[in-house]
Structure 1
Amino acid sequence: MLSLSKIHHIAIICSDYEKSKKFYTEVLGFKIIKEVYRKERDSYKLDLALQNYYCIELFSFPNPPKRMSRPESTGLRHIAFAVENIEKEREKLVQLGITVEQIRVDEFTQKKFTFFEDPDALPIELYEE
């Protein structure tokens, strides 16, 4: 068995780099650590942090294939972020014009959660701690 200590980062390929960059920084509140353009790949790489913790790499590539999201498909299902007050955070998303599912309660933990999508329909979950 490997001795893993934590998840280091999540890599996301987007179809519209500027739109996704704005979403992850201005809507979700990630801070930019480093942004580079890799000429040989015609690709941007944006390193993002949440609460000073490096956790997302946002990539652009020319003409990436679409990711199936619905119906649910094999592979990464969604990314989830912990929040203290899910109603408050859901309302912020709604005010920004983002479609957010109704808040549900996890049948096993009794914790509240909801889903919305990034600009490429990647499912994102908010989970109340």
Structure 2
Amino acid sequence: MVADASVGDYDALLLPGGTVNPDQLRVDKDAVSFVRDFVESGKPVAAICHGPWTLIEAGVAAGRTLTSFPSIRTDLRNAGADVVDQDVVVDRNLITSRSPEDLPAFSEAIVSQLAGTATEEEEKS
């Protein structure tokens, strides 16, 4: 159960893509709270495809540069995010990607964040 999870027990968080899983997560108050706490902890949070929907619900998209599947970009803009069309975007501890076609770049960015080797070009401060 998400309600029993502790941010301190994890090194990173991956929000799944597709439509069903993100749609279920964004209406689960415990999941939304966990995502908010994780982002605020500064640990890496990665979201692909429709995964950023949960970032919106958690109130952490505003002021961030993000990417996503095209159909939710308006939602991100309405939440105050700066939305770009790139294979992967790293904005501090948030890593976002558009679709499964971008998995190589998405995976590389996650590994870089976990290894602490993200370049200044990969991270926005």
TM-score (ref. length: structure 1): 0.30
- The structure in which a higher percent of residues are helix is 2
Structure number with bigger Rg: 1
- The structure in which a higher percent of residues are strand is 1
TM-score (ref. length: structure 2): 0.31
